[in-house]
Amino acid sequence: MTHNNNLFINRPLTEQQVCSYKEQGFLALGRVLSNDGLTQMREQCMAAWKAEKGRFDSEKTWLQNALLGNIHHRSDVVLQYYFNGPLVDIAEQFVGPNIKGVTSQLTFKMRGNNKPFGWHQDNGYGELDPYNTLTTLTALDDADEENGCLWIIPGSHKQGQINVEHSIADKASGKSIELEVDESPAIPVHMKAGEAIVFHCWTLHKSDGNRSKNRDRRILFLRYADADAVETYNGDNPRLGRLLRGQSKYPQVNSYETNLCVR
């Protein structure tokens, strides 16, 4: 695997940014993809998307319309970015010295997809312990209220894990979580293509439908967890994922090999 530094922009954090993340439960990083990185990532992600997905279909579930998993198996730029890009350094600051990559997917809300995605914590879709897993979103398009940008409730991570009934079967069938929350403190997260934000596994967020006529809202979704993180919904077995920094107490994590990109 070659690492092309012209594709990504490193983002060393200031102390103020680290404090802000701890207080607010999220942090906007600014630009992390160069123009070349953005172009290549879009091309490769769209090739994978078009091979599997059609237009938005209101009869289909959110999963079917909006999600394509394990995208690092299909795009070598995503693979480099996920395992060796600037987000790994950021994760080290918020997760610690031992880190594994636990999710890579496209979460696209293409034009016409007017389905909202309700309030939730990412740890609601598969609780990982310890509770410091980091979600990262990298925008492949400009995102705002019109095309279904993310909304976040700053500081909401401080309330901890909210227990919801959401089984593996619910997830597989595309049933989404819709928490009832006081959304008066919520803020829209505007992003420019090539920018990223990161947030805590307990931070409440949602998105509305894409109401625009001609703008897609494409996002690359990557998560990083402590190398010892276990799936509490699965007998506290370790979550498998490529070890990126440090080591794990679980041999199966230390030796875990992800499928390489087969594009």
Ligand X SMILES: O=C(O)CCC(=O)C(=O)O
Q: Which residues bind ligand X (CB under 6 A)?
A: 66, 107, 109, 117, 122, 148, 205, 207, 221
**CB 207 → ligand X: shortest distance, Å?**
3
**CB 66 → ligand X: shortest distance, Å?**
6
Task: Please report which helix (H) or strand (E) contains residue 89, including its range.
Answer: helix 86-95
When the beta carbons of 126 and 253 are compared against ligand X, the nearer one is 126
Asked whether the beta carbons of 220 and 163 are under 8 A apart, the reply is no
CA atoms of 190 and 143, how far apart (whole Å): 6
**CB 260 → ligand X: shortest distance, Å?**
25
Determine if residue 156 is left, alpha or beta; phi over 0 gives left, psi from -120 to 50 gives alpha, anything else beta.
alpha
Q: How many CB atoms lie within 10 A of CB 71?
A: 24
When the beta carbons of 53 and 109 are compared against ligand X, the nearer one is 109
CA atoms of 57 and 65, how far apart (whole Å): 7
When the beta carbons of 73 and 171 are compared against ligand X, the nearer one is 171
Helix, coil or strand: residue 76: helix
When the beta carbons of 25 and 148 are compared against ligand X, the nearer one is 148
When the beta carbons of 156 and 207 are compared against ligand X, the nearer one is 207
Determine the distance from the C-alpha atom of residue 160 to the mean position of all C-alpha atoms in its chain, rounded to a whole number. 19
**CB 184 → ligand X: shortest distance, Å?**
20
**CB 229 → ligand X: shortest distance, Å?**
17
